Structure 1
């Protein structure tokens, strides 16, 4: 009953509406102030920020410095989200994360490991099949700094997105709508659409949104089926860390000192469809066998109990667990 964990705190609708707005302001507005200040110091103008040209900003600040400031916005957003949940909802981070008694870090590491291996394999296969499309870009100093920033801060970035979308928003929508299918649909679509301003979309077209929205549905499904965010947290962190470390391009959201640089003229191809329609279903099968998932229809589309029923069930379970 992951969504119903919201009942363990103060779950009035207005708290969620206000929370989504407040946290968004801290994340996207206040969180961006350090980046704006750094650009003003270096460029004496905010025109480059208004243009959204990541390549130019990377040239001004340096790729690793720009990456740090971009990830810092997510750190500020995550701190504000945890603080709001604690102060306004009186809910713990554990209850925002999982329906289990404590956060299952083994689940996080398992999802991280399996997707890190798969995504790295995809990248190296792509390089082997079309070596002319890639340029070896390894520089010891910048790469070490990139690795440190990625390992320390990218999990914060991906966690912010997961906690905001598939944590806070999913719980809030679920207890308001009293069902699971609406929060699954809304958060998955919003997750995809929030990438619409990424330079990848400009370069490849709106077809790339199939990948983003498909990934949103995959992450939403594993969250509801597993009754917690742990698998989504691990998967998302692996995806971004491996991408940042191994391959960069002039048309991607993150400009990094990666191991390789993609110098090809990008086209929308099979690499967008295969993860969504082949790899993700295989991962769902693996997770379902490992964690004994069942009752898919009810977990993904069923009703969310009322607060009174949920708390009564919690009390009954507590009584059963007390020694006689």
Structure 2
């Protein structure tokens, strides 16, 4: 199994994992404090920027700060992994394939369009054409989301799933546990989103383990967030208020969207893994 072979590379004593996680978070917090918090405390940046960083209604500051924050978390984890395990970056990322990345993006874009059309048929009055995007906002959103989604894939589908697979030698257990952790991280965004994130974690981790790479799951993850950030923005989502092509306000469809999305994720995963197997 490629994923297990990657997990075995470097120094894998159990205690190193116990040290690496808090060390990674500590490095990230220190760098975030120095590069983001300190300039605000020292009044090098206006105090109002703090609120802008937390609101997608200010897309340039919001996505820019999100991208920088996740980049620093990625640095923290990579530094800790390198120090404690001596692993290479590719040991966590797996073999890279732009074709898999773009395939994941394309297939999931089609799925998202279909899911949106289903919601529109059910609640047409919940959709409004916004057309409020600007080229700069789109560019910053793309860059920020590329960093954010890759960091999450690197940490959860990469380092966490590999460590669990190494500890349990059981794919199912590693997939379930890493997905539950990923879902728990989304609880502040609401229970439906936490459930959806858990299901996404299940399919994304399956993709990573079956393909030996983060490329496919990264493509799906990036398109999922990009679509929700600039194409169809939900009033119940973390990206609420962001400039978009279309805004959606259908709170009564949250659970049905989660259920239908889960079925779509499973179907898309089966399709993607089958098509990749045939291409090999």
Q: TM-score, normalised by structure 1?
A: 0.74
Shift of 1:6: 2.5
1:103-252 → structure 2 map (5 Å cutoff)? 103-127=96-120, 129-139=122-132, 142-198=133-189, 201=190, 206-252=191-237
2:213 is paired with a residue whose SS is: coil
Select the residue among 261, 271, 275 that pairs with 1:275. 261
Once superposed, what is the RMSD of the aligned Cα atoms? 2.8
- Asked if structure 2 preserves the Cα contact closer than 8 Å seen for 1:138 and 1:260, the reply is yes
Q: Distance in 2 between matches of 1:252 and 1:26?
A: 29
Deviating more after overlay: 29-38 vs 247-256: 29-38
Question: Secondary structure, in 3 states, of the residue corresponding to 1:197?
Answer: helix
CA offsets, 1:192-216, max 9 Å, x none? 1110011xx1xxxx34433221111
The gaps in structure 1 that reach 5 residues or longer are: 294-324
Preserved contact between residue 9 and residue 89 of structure 1 (Cα < 8 Å)? yes
Gaps of 5+ in 2: none
Matched-pair contact (CA < 8 Å) for 1:28–1:73: no
Deviation at 1:143, TM superposition (A): 2.8
Among candidates 66, 82, 87, match of residue 70 of structure 1: 66
Whether the aligned pair in 2 keeps the contact of 1:23 and 1:81 (CA below 8 Å) is yes
Partner SS for 2:12: coil
Cα shift at 1:245: 1.1
Aligned residues: 273
Larger radius of gyration: 1
Q: Hey, what's the Cα distance between the residues in 2 that align with 1:103 and 1:160?
A: 15
TM-score, normalization by structure 2: 0.84
- Greater shift in the superposed pair: 36-45 or 215-224: 36-45
> Could you say if the C-alpha distance between residues 5 and 292 of structure 1 is closer, same or farther in structure 2, counting changes exceeding 3 Å?
same
The question of whether the paired residues in 1 share the 8 Å contact of 2:236 and 2:251 is answered with: no
Q: Secondary structure at the match of 1:252?
A: coil
Aligned with 2:187: secondary structure?
coil
Q: Distance in 1 between matches of 2:98 and 2:48?
A: 45
Q: Give the whole-Å Cα distance in 2 for the aligned partners of 1:157 and 1:72.
A: 9
- Whole-Å separation in 2 of the counterparts to 1:29 and 1:188: 27
In structure 2, the partner of 1:260 is 246
Tell me the distance in 2 between the aligned counterparts of 1:253 and 1:74.
16
Q: Secondary structure at the match of 1:269?
A: helix
